[in-house]
Amino acid sequence: MAQDPERDEEQQSGSDDLLTTHALDMVTLWSSDGTHSEMEAEMIRGVMESNGIPAMIVGAPQYPVLGFEVRVPRGKLKEAEEMLDQAEESGPEAAMEAEADSEK
């Protein structure tokens, strides 16, 4: 910008580059419009974030009939899908066991 010529020089030199890759675009990992979809979305988001995958929930608690989605970065989608499959295969017993281990 004209008001801050030093900042323009920094951006041109590459010291303040923005990540503009499509790998950071948020894509839908999971969606549902059931009565328990908000709770499921929160659990899935928790699993993703506890394993280092950023996740966000899209939905309106005021209008649960519209459903909820869990979105992750496009670059992490495959890893997130594998993690979700693994969590579903493990079932609730594994979740309780993991929670008990984390409380020790």
Which residue type is seen at 97? E
* pLDDT, tens digit (0-9, with 9 covering 90-100), for 21-55: 787 899 999 999 888 899 999 999 999 999 999 99
| Comparison of pLDDT for 85 and 101, the residue scoring more | 85
Looking at domain 16-102, its CATH class is: alpha beta
- Nearest CA-CA partner of 59 in 80, 45, 77, 48: 45
Virtual torsion, Cα 43, 48, 51, 54, nearest 10 deg: -130
* pLDDT, tens digit (0-9, with 9 covering 90-100), for 66-94: 899 999 999 999 999 999 999 888 877 77
Residues in the chain: 104
Cα–Cα distance measured from residue 76 to residue 15, given in angstroms and rounded to the nearest whole number: 26
Between vectors from CA 14 to CA 11 and to CA 15, what angle results, nearest 5°?
80
Which residue type is seen at 69? E
Pairing between strand 68-73 and 56-59?
A: antiparallel
Give me the residue spans of the domains in the chain: 16-102
